[in-house]
């Protein structure tokens, strides 16, 4: 075998595995970057949902808003929460019922309030009864942690992969 061919084969023995290693390394980095980007988008969406629910609760407590507007916002937030949790269920196996307290219980607390019901037909601004305001406060204390817990869960799931 000619010397140039031996040298070429030795060089290829070195270059081919190095090239494969670089390619695999780049593919892994690309996948991790995509995962990180997706996780950041999802976390941003969770924070946005949390902010919107907090704003809604503050608005309801302020007494400056109309029942139909509040009902519409509850519906929109519920849809947004459902869309987000469906994605999280597919990607990270998060329970689909995760946001149900916000989607059902919060809705019930607000829409069952006597003042809300009385003002709904004319769509006039309403002020919550003291009982309802107390229930909303208790609700916030009980469930506000869900958003941070979910973000934490995403980080834990990411570390396992």
pLDDT tens digits, one per residue of 79-122: 999 999 998 998 888 999 999 999 999 999 999 999 999 999 99
Alpha carbon distance 81, 85 (integer Å) = 6
Q: Model-level pTM?
A: 0.79
Between helix 145-160 and helix 3-62 the angle, nearest 10°, is 170
Q: How far apart are the first and last CA of the chain?
A: 48
What are the residue ranges spanned by the domains of the chain? Answer: 50-161
What residues of the chain score a pLDDT lower than 70?
26, 32-33, 157-161
């Amino acid at each position: 075998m000619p010397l140039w061919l031996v040298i070429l084969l030795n060089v290829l023995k070195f270059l081919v595995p190095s090239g494969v290693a670089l390619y695999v390394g780049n593919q892994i980095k690309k996948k991790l970057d995509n995962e990180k980007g997706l996780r950041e988008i999802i976390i941003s969406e969770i924070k946005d949902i949390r902010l919107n629910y907090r704003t809604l609760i503050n608005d309801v407590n302020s007494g400056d808003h109309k029942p139909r507007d509040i009902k519409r916002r509850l519906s929109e937030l519920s849809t947004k929460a459902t869309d987000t949790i469906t994605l999280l269920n597919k990607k990270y196996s998060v329970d689909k019922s995760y946001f149900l307290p916000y989607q059902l219980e919060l809705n019930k607390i607000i829409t069952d309030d006597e003042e809300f019901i009385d003002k709904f037909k004319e769509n006039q601004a309403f002020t919550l009864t003291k009982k309802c305001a107390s229930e909303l406060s208790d609700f916030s204390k009980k469930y506000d942690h869900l958003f941070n817990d979910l973000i934490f869960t995403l980080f834990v799931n990411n570390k396992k992969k």
